[in-house]
Amino acid sequence: MEKQKKIKPPKELPSGFEDRKEKELLIRDFIILKIKEVMVKYGFQYLETPSFEYTESIGKFLPDKERPGEGVFSFKDENKWLSLRYDLTAPLARYVAKNFNEIPKPFKRYQLGTVWRNEKPGPGRFREFLQFDADYVGTKNLQADAELCVMISEILENCGLAKDDYIVKISSRKITDTLFEKLKIQSEEKISIILRALDKIDRLGWTEVKKLLGEGRKDKSGDYTKGANLKDDQIKIIENSLNVNLPESEDLKQIIKIFKDYKFDNYKFDPSVIRGLEYYTGPIFEVNLNFNVKNLKGQVIQFGSIGGGGRYDNLVSNFGNLDYPATGISVGIDRLVFALMQKKEFDLKVISPVMISVFDQNNMKKYIEILMKLRSENISSEIYPGEGKIKKQMEYANRINSPCVIFVGEEEIKNSEVKIKDLSTGKEINIKNENMVNEIKKII
RNA sequence: GCACGGGUAGCUCAGUUGGUUAGAGCAGCGGUUUGUGGAACCGAAGGUCGACAGUUCGAACCUGUCCCCGUGUACCA
């Protein structure tokens, strides 16, 4: 007899994709609720765009134009390339360009949606995640930029973070522009190496970043990264520029002034905030957490920022429309959930059903009668959904955290009563049918 | 991409200098108990030792290549 080889489909998930369980989802729902509250309060419109866009519509603005499609999930439909969106900003630009005549100007909208990135996942970073994005389109007024920072702070605090749990860091493309003038560096390539190095100060510290600005750096696994090969005096200039506490650029001065009017002070000027290289044109911001985040194994991991944004004044004009300024902010919701779960105790009310035990399939009519009575009172309830002995039914009830089990056997039917067992105390009582609901309400 | 560490039962993991039939705990299944759960006891079952090739009388173990996972790093809208 020839044994047929069983080809088992993998039960593992593709790298970077995750199942999300109830606890996480409930916290996520809570955060989303808080976001929506704040967005309504701040007067933003709610928008949804599709998951797929034409690759060109969102890919055209990839920072690395040499490799379009890199980093996104794409497939060819008929003769057109489609891609899953990798953020919510590019689709917004497309939306604005498409609906230019219909939208109010300026246009404020927020969006919550899943985005996908085809890149190596890391701790707390997935290839599919939920993003929140709020933007002002069509205004150069820096009050918009300032308000985004105030707004994100309000969202975080409404979610339960304390003031010293997070900080909004601000900087501006103008800061680095003048820095490179001072350094007399024009080479795009060199500039981007330097910017990327500066971006890492948070994680690596100045000593390591200094190596990246100079010859290069070896990381702790032995891997080597080439540096920018700057001269010592140039590095000194950069170091000095980082130690400035108050920004010299006009835009940031103005934003800070507006912060004062909002009585918002949980920000910090940090010239090492870089964000996207070819993307932002003015003020940029980043939201960082001030506490350690651990992975499932309890190791402290490099968590990075949970969100950020800035001004991108030429995104919409790429679609052939007129120059149209914009500023926005994005937050990785799942990352926020992950961090928040460790910082805050959520008293989640996970409701588990009252279980009606099945003694005899022939009495199903009776069980359903009880079930409908409970459900009509809005009590989460179910008839034991499997088959098997009472012991098994009890094990199930225990497993799903059922508050109590209802037994209706022959005796109970005879006396027109039910037996209710409180699973937290183990106590059982027999009670007349008409008092059942009240008794159960006492237990749950 | 690069570096380091992993891949053994459904899950978490042991497995000696290469040696015969590869182990444990948990889960699952059956029973002790056909009206009672939250770590009770007993029993049976469960494996291409990530894949392929090589070395060897003999490989979970050694070598090579590849795949997958983790961490760091690079890139990052």
Q: Which among A346, A343, A304 is positioned nearest to A162, based on CA atoms?
A: A343
Q: Regarding beta strands A107-116 and A216-218, do their DSSP bridges make them parallel or antiparallel, or are they unpaired?
A: unpaired
Residue that the structure tokens 């911001």 belong to = A285
d(CA A74, CA A84): 6
Q: Which parts of A341-434 are beta strand (E)?
A: 354-356, 381-383, 404-407, 417-422, 428-432
With helix as H, strand as E and coil as C, how does A192-219 read?
HHHHHHHCCHHHHCHHHHHHHHCCEEEC
d(CA A117, CA A125): 10
Nearest nucleotide (CA of A389 to C1'): B34
Q: CA A11 – C1' B55 distance (Å)?
A: 35
Q: CA A382 – C1' B32 distance (Å)?
A: 30
**Bridge partners for A128 per DSSP:** A116
- Give me the interface pTM, i.e. the ipTM: 0.80
Q: CA A9 – C1' B58 distance (Å)?
A: 34
Which pair of structure tokens corresponds to residue A372?
Answer: 């409908």
What single DSSP character describes residue A19? -
Are A18 and A143 in contact, with CB atoms under 8 Å apart? no
Q: Which among A170, A198, A146, A173 is positioned nearest to A270, based on CA atoms?
A: A170
d(CA A13, CA A349): 29
Q: CA A5 – C1' B56 distance (Å)?
A: 30
Sheet holding A417-422, edge to edge: A381-383, A354-356, A404-407, A417-422, A428-432
pLDDT by 10s per residue, chain A, length 444: 233 334 567 777 888 888 888 888 888 999 999 999 999 999 999 999 999 998 888 865 443 444 445 688 888 787 788 889 999 999 999 999 999 999 999 999 999 999 998 888 887 788 899 999 999 999 999 999 999 999 999 999 999 999 999 999 999 999 998 999 988 888 888 888 899 899 888 888 888 899 899 888 877 666 778 888 888 899 999 999 888 888 889 999 999 999 999 999 999 999 989 886 677 889 999 999 888 777 666 666 667 788 999 998 887 887 877 788 999 999 999 888 888 887 777 777 788 999 999 988 889 999 999 999 999 999 999 999 888 888 889 999 998 999 999 999 988 999 999 999 999 888 999 999 999 999 999 998
Nearest nucleotide (CA of A398 to C1'): B37
Which pair of structure tokens corresponds to residue A314?
Answer: 């030429």
Burial class of A46 by CB neighbour count within 10 A (0 to 12, 13 to 18, 19+):
exposed
Is domain A354-443 annotated with CATH 3.30.70.100? Answer: no
pLDDT at A298: 62
User: Three-class SS of residue A439?
Assistant: helix
pLDDT at A82: 85
Nearest nucleotide (CA of A301 to C1'): B71
Measured in residues, chain A has a length of: 444
Q: Provide the sign of the torsion angle of the four alpha carbons A376, A23, A132, A95, taken in this order.
A: negative
Q: CA A9 – C1' B47 distance (Å)?
A: 18
Sheet holding A107-116, edge to edge: A45-46, A107-116, A128-137, A326-332, A307-311, A283-289, A166-172, A267-269
Nearest nucleotide (CA of A394 to C1'): B37
pLDDT at A69: 53
Nearest nucleotide (CA of A7 to C1'): B48
Residue that the structure tokens 């001269």 belong to = A231
What single DSSP character describes residue A164? G
Are A318 and A204 in contact, with CB atoms under 8 Å apart? no
CA distances from A316 to A90, A307, A312 (A): 9, 22, 9
Other beta carbons less than 10 A from residue A403's beta carbon: 20
Domain boundaries along the sequence of chain A: 354-443
Q: Tell which strand B nucleotides have any atom below 7 Å from a protein Cβ.
A: 1-4, 11, 28, 33-38, 48, 68-77
Q: CA A17 – C1' B10 distance (Å)?
A: 21
**Bridge partners for A81 per DSSP:** A76
DSSP result, A167-178: EEEEEEHHHHHH
